[in-house]
Amino acid sequence: MKRFNKKQAGDYLGVGTGTIDRWMKEGLISYNKIGSKVHFTQSDLDAKIQSYPTHSPTPPTSEEVIEVIENKAKEFTPEELALAKEIINHLFKNL
């Protein structure tokens, strides 16, 4: 059974050791401690990977972003709103 130290576990999971420490403190990752040494098994790390979300939320469309701006930003002047729409449309065209 392969064992990983914190640095190796972070590399395997694609996170830093600070994140590993936080997950340990919050009980979000299984680990073993022998004396002052902490180690993780590959099955501990694979279980953490399995707990990751399997999908990303769909990003909003430019129309949805503009709708939010129109509804939430009533303090914009008409010129500022037109500029914001132009910038958003430009950004979405260049994704």
**Mean pLDDT of the chain, nearest integer:** 84
| Whether pLDDT at 1 is above 70 | yes
Q: Which residue has the higher pLDDT, 61 or 14?
A: 14
- % pLDDT > 70, the chain: 91
Residues 43 and 32: their CA atoms lie apart, in Å, by 12
Tally of CA atoms within 13 A in the half-sphere of 19 that contains its CB: 11
| Cα–Cα distance for residue pair 16/10, rounded to 1 Å | 5
Distance between CA atoms of residues 31 and 90, nearest Å: 48
- Is it true that domain 3-51 has CATH number 1.10.1660.10? yes
Q: Is the pLDDT at 95 greater than 60, yes or no? A: no
pLDDT at 33: 92
pLDDT of 23: 92
Domain boundaries, the chain: 3-51, 62-93
Q: What is the per-residue pLDDT across 44-83, written as a single tens digit (0 to 9) for each?
A: 899 888 887 665 567 778 788 778 777 766 777 888 878 8
Query: What are the DSSP calls for the chain, one per residue?
Result: --EE-HHHHHHHHT--HHHHHHHHHTT-S--EEETTEEEEEHHHHHHHHHHS-SSPPPPPPHHHHHHHHHHH-TTS-HHHHHHHHHHHHHHHHT-
